[in-house]
Each structure stands twice: as structure tokens, then as C-alpha cells.
Amino acid sequence: MSLVWDNGLFLLKGAYYTLLITVISMIFGLLIGIVVALARLKGNLPIRWLARAYVSVIRGTPAYVQILIVYFGLVDYGITLGPITAACVALSINVGAYLSETFRGAILAIPKGQTEAAYATGMTSWQTLRRIVFPQAARVAIAPMGNTFIGMLKETALVSVITVTELVRSAQLLIAQYFVNMPFYLGIAAIYWVMSTGFSAILHAIEKRLSKAY
């Protein structure tokens, strides 16, 4: 494992790009998920149909293929994205579909009586969502949302196919240089485990805080 230690900074740089792509994709995936969930719940028929089609297509196709479409496929139409940008776009679209179902289920879990009571007090639809529905839905959604995020952290390994020098790509470059496999694979497995454990701890703390608040 001395090779891993000697090349630790190079692997940590790969881990940085893994985390960067994960965080950016999480943020935009959250926004997409909320918008799509509301579209399915509150939109008119065409909007609901489009939102349902988006979820069906994204969940029904591999993330690997989606990355290839965004990076290589869009070039056919004159749209060229850098590797990191393409990775963030593809993973945001992917995770947004899964999070939309999580949010939709969480919103539906809120008793209708609470929204009706809010309307009775004169709140608008937006005020009801912001003050009554969203805070409670966030508490319901945090656990499955955490699982989705951790899954996406590991799915960033797929973007090595478009030459993003994240953790897996970094290991592949070192393997090509030293002609040994196991130390580097074990090394990046350990780094993934540390990052996943850290995310789990953060999400658990947020879940506990939301439980106390509501």
C-alpha cells in the first residue's frame, strides 16, 4: 500500500473532483426534483404528462448511457460540453428524477387536513407549501434522499468514461503507470467508504435536528 500513500495527493485530487461533481449534482438535482414533483402534483394535464415521461425515461435508462448522451450525443447538434460540466448535467438530470419521486411521496404523506386548515386561515397555495407542507415533507424525505445522494456519490465513478479525472480515473492512471491493480483499487474503495460514511453522518444529524424541530 506504499504506492497508494506515495500517490495520496493525486488520489485526493481525484476525490476532490468526485465530491465537487456530487455536490453540484445534488444541488441541481434537488431543484429539478422539487420542480418535477410539484409539476406532477399541481400541474395541468400536459405538464403532469411531461413530468411523468421525464421520470419514466430517466429511471428506465442507465446513468452510464445518459452520461454518454450528454457528452458525446449532444455534439451531433453543435452542443459541446466540457467533461466536468457534462458529468454534472447528466447526474443532475438523473438524480432529479429519483428525488422527484421521493419529494412527491413525502408531500403526499402530509395529511390533507393540514393543507385544508391552512387554506381556511387565508394562506395562499404557495404560503401553504412553504410554511406547512415543505418543512414536514423535508423530514419525511431526508432518509430516502440521503440514500439517493450516497448512491450518486458512487455513481460518479461512471464519469471516468468521459475522461473526468475523478477517483476511479485517477486510480486507472496510476495503474497504467505502475502496472499494479489491487493497492489502488483498495485505496479508492477506502476513500469512497470514508466519503459515504461522512455523508451518512451529516444526513443523520440533519434528520435528528428536523425531528426535534417538528
For residue 79, report the phi and psi dihedrals to the nearest 5 degrees: -105, 110
Which residue is it, cell 417538528?
214
Cβ-based burial of 90 (10 A; exposed 0-12, middle 13-18, buried ≥19): buried
Q: How confident is the model at residue 101 (pLDDT cuts 50, 70, 90)?
A: very high
Task: For residue 3, give the amino acid letter.
Answer: L
Contact of 99 with 32, CB cutoff 8 Å: yes
- Residue 25 is predicted with a pLDDT of 96
User: b/e string for 4-42 if b means 16 or more Cβ within 10 A?
Assistant: beebeebbeebbebbbbbbebbbebbbebbbebbbbbee
Greatest alpha-carbon span in the chain: 70
Mean pLDDT of all residues in 126-131: 79
Query: How many residues belong to the chain?
Result: 214
Contact of 100 with 38, CB cutoff 8 Å: no
% pLDDT > 70, the chain: 97
57 pLDDT higher than 90:
yes
Q: Which three cell numbers stand for residue 178?
A: 505502475
Which candidate, 62, 51, 63, places its Cα nearest to that of 90?
Answer: 63
116 contact partners, CB below 8 Å, separation of at least 6:
none
Task: For residue 57, give the amino acid letter.
Answer: V
Which residue is it, cell 447528466?
90
- Residue 65 is predicted with a pLDDT of 97
Q: How confident is the model at residue 211 (pLDDT cuts 50, 70, 90)?
A: low
Contact of 132 with 115, CB cutoff 8 Å: yes
More confident call, 7 vs 140: 7
* Residue 153: Cβ within 10 Å count: 22
pTM of the model: 0.90
The CATH code belonging to domain 2-213 is: 1.10.3720.10
Chain centroid to CA 25: 5
